[in-house]
Structure 1
């Protein structure tokens, strides 16, 4: 029986990954948290899941825990603060690795270990989940449908908290700190987060809502994965007034407020408390829209794909769980370090989504 260790497994994303693995594999699942309090029953998780208290700063205990596992799933964010120690230990111990990292800074920290991972024969897959994760595979499928892709425009919106806990709030506010590099007109150009609002039509029940430039790993990795001229990644919230509040936070409040740890915690807790109220009306779902522009059969064409699900955290569990499943089954044996879109084939992605009941709508339009 395979043994899977989920770091940060007591969080909402980690629990969703654990439940997906229980449903789709026969692996032994161990989840970790910073406390020994057993919260599995109150969250209706499978009784076969084991709970372990672990502090990621205790390197000796971390190494002992990783040793002997077949796969480590890193769900302990925010990844802005992570330094790659977990992946490095996995390489040294010969253990496959995946994560739900959601910021380019983490990708840039760990990609330096790519050659070491190849030599060790381990497969490490980054940016799994829903966005990044499922979104990346939607884009890969779209690019493959065209003879030549020119522009990737990827938009996301989340209703309320998304059911994903306060860590996601922290990630959002951490993403407002500074300008980032975006791939525009075939070169890297500075873009300010939460600028250039667009109104995007998402599937029902969300419809039209605003989205803004946001720094996600895809903004960076797509430029390498797909030879395109433009990569646009935009994010928004439902209800729309959250977008305006976030814009004010990014552009009106003093910069020091969102550059300090105390400021990030304050905004995250206030926002999370607000969504505790609005979640009752908006739900906790996610919607994504990928628009790939280019050419097919000598004509200008655009490929659209959309996905909507009522629970963001559950969707993230499906995205990460499916990658873990395929790794355990030996279907993703590709030593090295990769963002998910470089290693997960479209055929495997489609099979995973079908098995988990996640429907993705697609259409090709000639312009």
Structure 2
């Protein structure tokens, strides 16, 4: 998704891509049980590598919490810094100067537990696979019990900002992590069989890994059964739907601000009032999540 966002921005925008942010959410263990537990615990022992204006920086794992809106079916979730490989590959391959990645889970107390582990356990302990496996065996029964309540929904959101103010995102949400992983694996397998890849081991962003002209088909296959899939759209199209408070007053909640919609003419035209803008929206625009023509 990140590569496609960058490609579209370079084609459609006058500015240059300058900031890429990855956000991930999984309910419970996503049904993966010990596998995701072990991976998560091991990552807590690693410093987070991120990039700020081209400079490589290292940060504390599971810090820097942000509340991110993953749209319908998922909603707003807290996510935390984690050391994920796509940060480096996006910086090196796509040439984005500022890149970071965050992850969060549910219920909320799992996030608290992950944060506590980074403070109570040493990095050396968390890097020891034997000790981590013992932790996994200890927590696995409880995690599986909670999974039965939390479900296994998964969501990925990728935000790209450009120097001219353009801000677009890609969003993938599915009810079942296990099914979505199977679909994605099958999509890549088909791409290999169809000759859309080159021999070798490649980062997903590299054209040798998946040919540029084959990426749209890959995404279409991988997103089968999603509850929400959006590419190259502004954030306001993803986030919370407007809610009527009564007397023709609506509220639209964006990522960084709440704006008021006031009924102007019997319910057909609505004026958007914010600190620095005033635009007219129709009911159709709001309910269909479309921004009116400029």
Query: TM-score, normalised to structure 1's length?
Result: 0.57
Which structure 1 residue ranges, 5 or more long, are not aligned? 1-137
Structure 1: distance between partners of 2:213 and 2:179: 22
Which structure 2 residue ranges, 5 or more long, are not aligned? 11-15, 237-275, 277-294
Cα deviation, residue 150, structure 1? 0.5
Structure 2: distance between partners of 1:319 and 1:217: 18
Q: Which residue of 2 aligns with 1:281?
A: 149
Q: Is the 8 A contact 1:182 1:191 kept in 2?
A: yes
Quick one: which of 214, 218, 231 aligns to 1:352?
218
Structure 1: distance between partners of 2:215 and 2:147: 30
Q: Which residue of 1 aligns with 2:279?
A: none
Cα deviation, residue 346, structure 1? 5.3
Q: Which residue of 2 aligns with 1:249?
A: 117
Question: Is 1:341 equivalent to 2:205 in the alignment?
Answer: yes
Q: Is the 8 A contact 2:170 2:230 kept in 1?
A: yes
Cα deviation, residue 345, structure 1? 4.1
Equivalences for 1:1-367 in 2 at 5 Å? 138-147=1-10, 148-295=16-163, 299-332=164-197, 334-343=198-207, 344-345=210-211, 347-355=213-221, 356-358=224-226, 359-362=228-231, 363-364=233-234
SS at match of 1:339: coil
Q: What is the CA RMSD across the aligned residues, in angstroms?
A: 2.2
Cα deviation, residue 274, structure 1? 2.1
Task: Name which one, 1 or 2, has greater alpha-carbon Rg.
Answer: 2
Q: Is the 8 A contact 1:159 1:237 kept in 2?
A: yes
Point out the structure with the larger helix share: 1
Structure 2: distance between partners of 1:165 and 1:361: 28
Q: For the structure 1 residues 357 and 347, does the alpha-carbon distance in structure 2 shift closer, same or farther, using more than 3 Å as the test?
A: farther
Query: TM-score, normalised to structure 2's length?
Result: 0.71
Q: Aligned pair count?
A: 226
Cα deviation, residue 170, structure 1? 0.7
